[in-house]
Copies of this chain bind each other. A is one copy, B any other.
């Protein structure tokens, strides 16, 4: 698992953090996940430009950790295909594999869960810029793994993700 960055991409409320937490618990029981955005990108908002910057910084951090043997599990929306490609290319240039996992919960199921109440705020006119609506989520075309969280609980998804690097000969 140390041999590759695992990036969980998917729309809001798709279930990324739950899978990441379950995976982290498998890898290092009792260890918390680091809150990257709060520390690396405190001044950034959710405009397209700021999101791109945040994803790039997070991708760079993941690559530094991975090439030093620290498992990097990144549950970040990363809505734009071109930014995800840049992060992948930066990893490849450094000789560090990056595996993309698409947490492919359908948008209507995400809206129904609405974990942070964002869809409701948007429907009420109190929010704009929500990924998958104003600023659409671009699904990956070349993900190494696609998960449907409607049919699989987080712990099972985490087990699938955990097995991925080994299946690819990277761990």
Interface residues of A in 46-61 (CB under 8 A from B): 53, 56-57, 60-61
Contact code string A51-82 (vs B, CB < 8 Å = 1, else 0): 00100110011001100111000000000000
CB pair B65 A34 closer than 8 Å: no
Q: How many copies does the complex hold?
A: 2
Asked whether any CB of chain B lies closer than 8 Å to the CB of A125, the reply is: no
Q: Is A60 within 8 A of B43, CB to CB?
A: no
A152 interface contact, C-beta 8 A: no
Main secondary structure of the interface of A (DSSP, over half): helix
Question: How far does the alpha carbon of A53 sit from the alpha carbon of B41 in the complex, in Å?
Answer: 10
Q: How large is the interface on A (under 10, 10 to 19, 20 to 34, 35 or more residues)?
A: 10 to 19
Q: Are B70 and A34 in contact (CB under 8 A)?
A: no
Bound-state Cα–Cα, A64 to B40, Å: 12
What are 12 A-B contacts with C-beta separation under 8 Å? A39-B60, A40-B40, A40-B60, A40-B61, A61-B61, A61-B64, A64-B65, A65-B65, A65-B70, A69-B69, A69-B70, A70-B70
